[in-house]
A and B are shown apart, each in its own frame.
Chain A
């Protein structure tokens, strides 16, 4: 166990390090991407550009610039290029919207995904199953920004049933928070519901054919009990593991498209806007932040499963 944790920790640090280097390099190859030129403004003289380059250290070797940036990130004083504000403050400001989106949508897609998957498996091959399969595939085949834009147009513009995007903090006005979050939750969930119900369906069908389930049936245990006790419990393991990673990804700014379409001002949208402005420090922070969640949650999931299922050995 200790060995596992240590190994995972080392690998996490390596991955985060590599990700930060990669991100930093991606923005170095851009011609005319020199932030000093942008910061100096349209009417600036070459002297001004040079002065800014000196003050910000853009004239130093790349590795040194990278080290400086990383040092600033970990000391919490990293400043963005475009508006020169503290990046960590911005992320703190954006996190509630992202958390609201992740938690609400996470619950919806888990519950509905499991429900539809179960229904599909029980009625395998029949109409309900077919219909749910088609629905799931339609959900998986529709770009989320298209779905969001269409939903906004019909439900917020034509019929003013929902607000036209935006985020209201839970702390300032709970009913408005809920009102603003419903549509983004549903839109983000559609895709996951499609995936989860499909995965659960095949897992259930697989498990139903396992020997121990047959044994249980043979022992005369009621079908309902078999389904809930033996089949569902085992089939849910991969679902929950999937869920924790998807959830981590959404918290880490993975829901860029949903956040952008609904203008939630979350972490993902912040990252997307920063990329558009070639503002490297925020991009690095958000990417590392997101990767951190993914890596940690995947390790935690592994530990939990090892505890639950003695057959699994942590390596």
Chain B
């Protein structure tokens, strides 16, 4: 299971990141192309995916592979600008007429549904479809449903079967008015409304997995045929253009055929040989083909960083990493350049927990607390001083490449530092349940986080003492630092629209975290944008959250 969550950005993040002096995350040209550029309209393109989407049901999908089609088929009340880089994180009205009005206490969100909308099957869209959609996501147990149940009033009662509807959502079909009441102020709630799982489906849609026959949605495209684990086809949704929703392009291609191939080697070769058009960005480009791709197809291949953090967690409640010096030694010794090579170049080295593209990323001008060039000798001395040398360490890792290679390297490094490290590789499917289980209580190992939405609070969920739990724990280092908790209590409720006012606070917090060496961060993932020569490479948008924007694909 590829757990790659996705998300959204708050308004003005673009301006803010630039203001904060961060290294630019991708190009900033906002290609908001609703038919503005002059490519060929129509035609068919073939997208290859090496990993099948988890579900083709908008209320269940939770991987990049399912988000790519979902966000252009099921438009939520709010969505994101179809643009590259940080401007792609800008929240825009989707099926709602405008961004939500938020009450002064941050607890009430009010939106109005656009008039005259219909689903791709002709059914009119009603305001009451919204609460139904949220109920459906909760009932079918969407992987991120805690974003609803933790914040929407009455949602957890509905989840627990104590209520037949969500008391906190009021929807008036006559006026189109939708009011949502929260239990606590949550700055990123507007981002939650923009999840593809918040993408509206008709009231009465069955409350079970409909991946074989996905429900109708409102969006530039619709599913026209689906064969689970084989592929699916998207065709243009003719009715969508009539709605004239600003900033949501209607798409160029008539048909997008998606084929699942479980072999990335052949996936990459077909795109290289122009037998297929798009290499899915969520797949790993086989390193063995890189030399060929870089020499033969450099004009249609790029590495695009996406807001994500790759790190080794260091359990602060257990020896040896309850010793600060032992943790510092790891941070000091880790060779980030080696990690980049293990990733075949699909990694940008960093020591900060908040990645580039996220408010609060300290940036390259700030010096890493334990340096950027590895110092094995100094690190060894530190381990000796700490008295933890010789401690047995079990290093946990995932099976798939290059994550296995990261852990192979890391285990060897720990042994060189003087620990007695042993590797424990677990199949991808059970990796996170295993290391997140209190019974395992792992000492150290691989971890990653890819934004649900570009808000620093989404990342600091993994450093929040309150998120330590007996199963599916995500605070792998078990950090429970009073200073971090205090800052989070202050910073988390800040509405997404005002994030820039606290950018420096986040940055200071992130530098504090790095200096405490709670984790050993080594990089941010970059993803392949790789097309055939049939498509216009320059005009295609690579969205920071939803990757290749299929509405921007056009034939040359």
Q: Do chains A and B touch in the complex (CB under 8 A)?
A: yes
**Contacting residues, chain B, for A165 (C-beta < 8 A):** 263, 266
Expressed in whole angstroms, the Cα–Cα distance for A278 and B434 within the complex equals 13
State the CA gap A287–B321 with chains docked (Å). 45
Please give the distance in Å from A38's CB to the nearest CB on chain B: 6
> Which single member of A34, A51, A85, A273 contacts B211 (CB below 8 Å)?
A85
**Which residues of chain B come closer than 8 Å to A41, judged between CB atoms?**
3, 62, 142-144, 472
Q: Mark B248-263, 1 if CB is under 8 A from A, else 0.
A: 0000000000000111
Are A33 and B146 in contact, with the CB atoms below 8 A?
no
Name the one of A31, A51, A90, A157 contacting B159, with C-beta atoms under 8 angstroms. A51
Write the chain B residue with the least CB distance to A149. Answer: B265
Query: Is A84 an interface residue, CB under 8 A from the partner?
Result: yes
| Residue A40 is within 8 A (CB to CB) of chain B in the complex | yes
B56 to chain A, nearest CB (A): 9
The CA-CA distance from A47 to B452 in the complex, in Å, is: 21
Complex Cα spacing A278 to B262, Å = 18
Task: Give the residues in chain B near A49, CB-CB below 8 Å.
Answer: 471-472
Interface status of A52 (Cβ within 8 A of chain B): yes
User: Are B230 and A93 in contact, CB atoms less than 8 angstroms apart?
Assistant: yes
- Asked if A126 CB lies within 8 Å of chain B CBs, one says no
Residue of B262, B461, B470, B474 near A265 (CB, 8 A) is B262
Contact of B430 among A30, A45, A84 (CB under 8 A): A30
A-B contact count (CB 8 A): 130
Say whether A263 faces chain B, with CB atoms less than 8 Å apart: yes
Across the interface, which residues of A come within 8 angstroms of B160, CB to CB? 47, 51
Q: Is the interface of B mostly helix, strand, loop or mixed?
A: loop
Contacts of A1 in B (CB 8 A): none
Q: How large is the interface on B (under 10, 10 to 19, 20 to 34, 35 or more residues)?
A: 35 or more
B228 & A276 in contact (Cβ 8 Å cutoff): no
Provide the residues of chain A in CB contact with B55, threshold 8 Å: 83-84
B209 on the interface (CB 8 Å rule)? yes
With a cutoff of 8 Å between Cβ atoms, the chain B residues found around residue A33 in the complex are 430
Interface string of A7-50 (1 = CB under 8 A from B): 00000000000000000000000111110011111111111110
The reply on B404 being an interface residue by CB < 8 A is no
> Is A298 on the interface with B (CB-CB < 8 A)?
no
Query: How would residues 216 to 254 of chain B score, 1 for a CB under 8 Å from any chain A CB and 0 otherwise?
Result: 000000000001111000000000000000000000000
CB of B152 to closest CB in A, whole Å? 15
Asked if B427 is at the interface of the complex by the 8 Å CB criterion, the answer is yes
Instruction: Please state if B262 and A52 are interface contacts (CB–CB under 8 Å).
Output: no
User: What A residues does B461 contact at CB under 8 A?
Assistant: 43
CB-CB under 8 A from B228, the residues of chain A are: 83, 85, 89-90, 93
Residues of chain B with a CB closer than 8 A to A38's CB: 1, 429-430, 433
Q: What mask results when residues 73 to 88 of chain A are scored 1 for a CB within 8 Å of chain B, else 0?
A: 0000000001111100
Q: Kindly state whether residue A166 has any CB partner on chain B within 8 Å.
A: yes
Across the interface, do B270 and A84 meet the contact criterion of CB distance under 8 Å? no
Measured CB to CB, the closest approach of chain B to A16, in angstroms, equals 26
Is the C-beta of B440 less than 8 angstroms from some C-beta in chain A? yes
Bound complex: CA A86 to CA B144 (Å): 24
Would you call A42 and B269 a contact (CB within 8 A)? Answer: no
| Cα distance, A45 to B159, chains bound together (Å) | 12
B426: nearest residue on chain A (CB-CB)? A32
> B364-391 vs A: 1/0 string, CB under 8 Å?
0000000000000000000000000000
The residue from A31, A89, A276 contacting B429, defined by CB atoms under 8 A apart: A276
Instruction: Assess whether A46 is in contact with B469, with CB atoms less than 8 Å apart.
Output: yes
Given A41-B144, A43-B474, A85-B211, is A265 in contact with B430 using a C-beta cutoff of 8 Å? no
Chain A residue at minimum C-beta to C-beta distance from B461: A43
A44 and B262 contact, Cβ closer than 8 Å, known pairs A31-B434, A32-B430: no
Q: Enumerate chain A residues within 8 angstroms of B262, measured Cβ to Cβ.
A: 263, 265, 269, 273
Give chain A residues whose Cβ lies under 8 Å from the Cβ of B428: 276
In the bound complex, residues from chain A placing their C-beta under 8 Å from that of B143 are: 40-44
Q: A44-B146, A84-B55, A85-B212 are in contact. Are A37 and B472 (CB under 8 A)?
A: yes
User: Cβ of A45 and Cβ of B5 under 8 Å apart?
Assistant: no
The answer, yes or no, to whether A164 is at the interface (CB within 8 Å) is: yes
Encode B48-60 as 1/0 by CB contact (under 8 A) with A: 0000101100001
Of B5, B209, B270, which contacts A43 at CB under 8 A? B5
Knowing that A85-B228, A164-B266 touch, tell me 10 more A-B residue pairs with CB under 8 angstroms. Answer: A37-B437, A42-B472, A43-B472, A44-B143, A44-B472, A48-B149, A52-B141, A83-B229, A263-B266, A278-B429
Q: Would you list the 3 A-B pairs with minimal beta carbon distance, nearest first?
A: A41-B143, A164-B266, A37-B433
- List the interface of chain A (C-beta within 8 A of B): 30-34, 37-49, 51-52, 55, 82-86, 89-90, 93, 157, 164-166, 263, 265, 269, 273, 276-278
What are 25 A-B pairs with beta-carbon distances under 8 A?
A: A32-B430, A32-B434, A33-B430, A37-B471, A38-B1, A38-B433, A40-B472, A43-B146, A43-B147, A48-B146, A82-B54, A83-B55, A83-B209, A84-B211, A85-B211, A89-B212, A93-B228, A93-B230, A164-B270, A166-B261, A263-B263, A265-B262, A269-B262, A276-B428, A277-B429
